[in-house]
Structure 1
Amino acid sequence: MPVYPSRARKVLKYWSPLRRVLLTLPVIWVVVTIVFLLIHIVPGDPIVQMLGEGATATDISALRHAYGFDQPLRLQYLHYWQGLLHGDMGQSLRLHDSVTHLVLQRYPYTLALTLAALLIGIGTSVPAGIWSALHLNRWQDRTAGVVSLIGLSFPNFALGPILILIFSIEMGWTPVSGAGDGTLPSFLAHLILPALTLGMGLAAILTRMVRTAMLEELSQDYIRTARAKGVPERRIVYRHALRNALIPILTIIGLQFGSLLAGAIVTETIFSWPGIGRLTLSAISNRDYALVQGCILAVGLTYVAINLLTDVAYTIANPRISAQ
């Protein structure tokens, strides 16, 4: 690593996170642009699609004017950006409410479900992957491999009904659907099965990744040197090997977060979870394109934010990355 003067080091310390933030700005622009164009690439006239075939010419003209579709495309694009910068994502045609308000109502439910699934995936996979790597080619390793393979074999739409049948209908331990009556214990009870459905697939993928990354690190020379010096095995595994193995693991977690958001659409439908995924499906079936735009934009911007946080996590796991 090059030696910098103290002032240059201080500038470098703050420049690396700032550079990562600046690099996300073009990504945000692309996401917003694609979401804006979605309504314009719908086959046929989107206004006619919204109103249905029985709409009169007066209704079509009035709604086209209300949505600004009678203006040139560049002006519509500028107005869309102006609305977003002021927190306005348009008006829902079917629900007669602000898209921003509807998205903000549902977003916390999807975020809670995704984070709970992520917590289950990480909390299950990291110990299992380490355990598997430390018992290479033994029964513990084979057991973890078989369990992770089973987890990969069950998609959300199959695992969800199975969990409902076992834990809700047969055993009566958890509620079947919904998000509870507004109290925290009820909310958590309703969250268990959807989070398990969404998180088990992630846990299966991460277990194999953690195992592979740990095996690679445990075979390095610095691990053999630490063992030769008499460093406790627990410290070698968790302080040295695991920390260096976190980089590829964090990459997979960041990428899989987008898969969790996409999988939430199916999971929310199965469990009647009132999140953005279920709202998106309802908006598509009702041809409420402004609401579809808002839901997709919320998911897209969340994915961008998670990737930015993943970059920040890299520097925490390995500070040497911040100087690159």
Structure 2
Amino acid sequence: MYIIKRTSLMVLTLIGVSILIFAMMRMIPGNIVDVLFDSGGYVDEAQKALITKQLGLDKPMPMQYAAWIGGILHGDFGYSFISERPAAAEIVTRLPVTLKLAGLAMLFATIIGVPLGVLSAIRKNSFVDNALRVISISGLSLPSFWIGLLVLMFFVHAFGFIPIYPMGQRTLIQELVVLSLPAMVVGFRSSALVLRLTRSSMLEVLSQDYIRTAKAKGASTFTVNFRHALKNAFLPVLTIIGIEAAYLIGGLVVTETVFSVPGICGYLVDSINQRDYPVVQDLVLLMAFAAVFVNFLVDLSYALLDPRIKY
């Protein structure tokens, strides 16, 4: 029953997002026909009206929305107004790059943020704790694009080249190596957030009676901190990891621009500027689906991590 309710809520959320983005795109001054004729430097009203009709932009908005949603339900995501290729084909070629970048960023944030958060909680108010708090606050305060520019400047100064995304064929390992630098830049902020939340959750759990009991029974420090404390402190950390993962899928616009990564986020900005309605609508709907689906998976994982939780 819980899964049915959450699935219904996901569907309603996606319907609301689709209506919102469809209406907002039509509220932007001008459309694709205006962009095409402005770039050409002349206006032929008859030709303009013909192109508007061919693209279906002369129909009422409810009919345009119904045609778009009906096409999606039948597996037709429309055609890009700019490239005249299927919108799905344009997105599929760029989506894996963004998924790899977001996945690497979250991997970096988790494997760095969680252990350092545990260490900071164990060494409360020590030099290590204070140093980690300074680093985490810096990570939350500094914009990712600014850090990315500093990294590019460092590579130019130290090695004489710019580590931007190169074109050409690569193996999966080579692809991950190329994306590792922008992933670390993006994951620095997420790791700082995970570190802070892990520390606060661990401090709360370490003050519980069962932790003192485990210590009194002679359990090792590793067992107390990682098997007992971290397991019970990890639920809020898992929540923030899920939120950050959903955010990164659609929040890598500036990072992809700085490192010239050909992902869907930079493509979304270009499509908005060009009024490429089908691509923008499909991309935003895809990002919304990723956000609600990740949160759905996080909720289901609660019961696996804590058997006391029942849905």
TM-score normalised to the size of structure 1? Answer: 0.87
Q: What amino acid does structure 2 have at the position aligned with 1:193?
A: L
Question: Counterparts of 2:51 and 2:296 in 1: how far apart (Å)?
Answer: 39
Aligned match for 1:127, one of 102, 105, 115: 115
Q: Is the 8 A contact 1:38 1:293 kept in 2?
A: no
User: Which 4+ stretches in 1 moved above 6 angstroms?
Assistant: none
Contact 2:165 2:179 in 1 (8 A): no
Deviation of the 1:66 alpha carbon: 2.6
Counterpart of 1:105 in 2: which secondary structure?
Answer: helix
Q: Distance in 2 between matches of 1:160 and 1:217?
A: 36
Change beyond 3 A, Cα 1:143–1:179: farther
Residue 93 of structure 1 aligns to a residue whose secondary structure is coil
Structure 2 counterparts to residues 78-89 of structure 1, below 5 A = 78-89=66-77
- Aligned partner (choices 94, 102, 105) of residue 93 of structure 2: 105
For structure 1, which segment, 209-218 or 144-153, has the greater mean C-alpha deviation from structure 2 after superposition?
144-153
Give the corresponding residue for 1:196: 184
Q: Look up the SS of the partner of 1:273 in the other structure.
A: coil
Structure 2 residue 272 is matched with structure 1 residue 284 = yes
1:116 corresponding residue in structure 2: 104
Equivalent residue, structure 1, for 2:31: 46
- Please say if residues 265 and 278 of structure 1, whose CA atoms lie closer than 8 Å, have aligned partners that are also in contact: yes
Q: Distance in 2 between matches of 1:285 and 1:16?
A: 41
Amino acid at match of 2:16: V
Unmatched segments (≥5 aa) in structure 1: 1-14
Q: CA RMSD in A?
A: 2.1
Please list, as runs of the form range in 1=range in 2, the aligned pairs for 1:248-263 lying within 5 A after superposition.
Answer: 248-263=236-251
Contact preservation (8 Å) 1:110, 1:276: yes
| Selected match of 2:18 from 24, 32, 35 | 32
Aligned to 2:165: 177
Render the CA deviation track for 1:68-109: whole Å, top value 9, x for unaligned.
233333222221111111222221122121111101111111
CA contact (8 A) 1:47 1:63 kept: no
> Who is 2:210 aligned against?
222
Question: What's the CA shift string for 1:162-190, capped at 9, x where partnerless?
Answer: 11232465146983333653223431221
Q: What is residue 157 of structure 1 aligned with on the other side? A: 145
Contact 1:268 1:277 in 2 (8 A): yes
Q: Whole-Å Cα distance in 2 between the matches of residues 254 and 156 of structure 1?
A: 19
Post-superposition offset of 1:283: 1.6
Report the alpha carbon displacement of residue 264 of structure 1 after superposing the two structures with TM. 0.7
2-structure distance, mates of 1:220, 1:111:
39
1:247 aligned onto 2:235 = yes
From the superposition, tell whether residues 179 and 253 of structure 1 become closer, same or farther in structure 2 (CA, over 3 Å): farther
Partner of 2:193: 205
User: Which piece of structure 1 moves more, 162-171 or 244-253?
Assistant: 162-171
Shift of 1:246: 1.4
**Aligned partners of 1:197 and 1:49: how far apart in 2?**
38
Q: 1:197 to 1:108 in 2, by over 3 A?
A: same
Note if contact 2:155-2:161 (Cα within 8 Å) is conserved in structure 1.
yes
- Unaligned runs of at least 5 residues, structure 2: none
Q: Is residue 57 of structure 1 aligned with residue 54 of structure 2?
A: no
Number of equivalent positions: 308
Q: Which moved more, 1:137-146 or 1:223-232?
A: 223-232
2:305 is aligned with 1:320: no
Q: Which amino acid is 1:113 matched to?
A: L
- Please give the secondary structure, in 1, of the residue aligned with 2:28: coil
Q: Please say if residues 114 and 261 of structure 1, whose CA atoms lie closer than 8 Å, have aligned partners that are also in contact.
A: yes
1:318 and 1:66 map into 2 onto residues whose CA distance is 56
Given that residues 198 and 263 in structure 1 are in contact (C-alpha distance below 8 angstroms), is that contact kept between their aligned partners in structure 2?
Answer: no
Instruction: Tell me the amino acid that sits aligned with residue 39 of structure 1.
Output: M
Q: Which of residues 248, 256, 261 is equivalent to 1:268?
A: 256
How far off is 1:46 after superposition?
2.2
Using the TM superposition, give the Cα deviation of residue 48 of structure 1 relative to its aligned residue in structure 2, in angstroms.
4.0
What SS does the corresponding residue of 1:94 show, helix, strand or coil? Answer: coil
User: Contact conserved, 1:89 with 1:100, CA < 8 A, in 2?
Assistant: yes
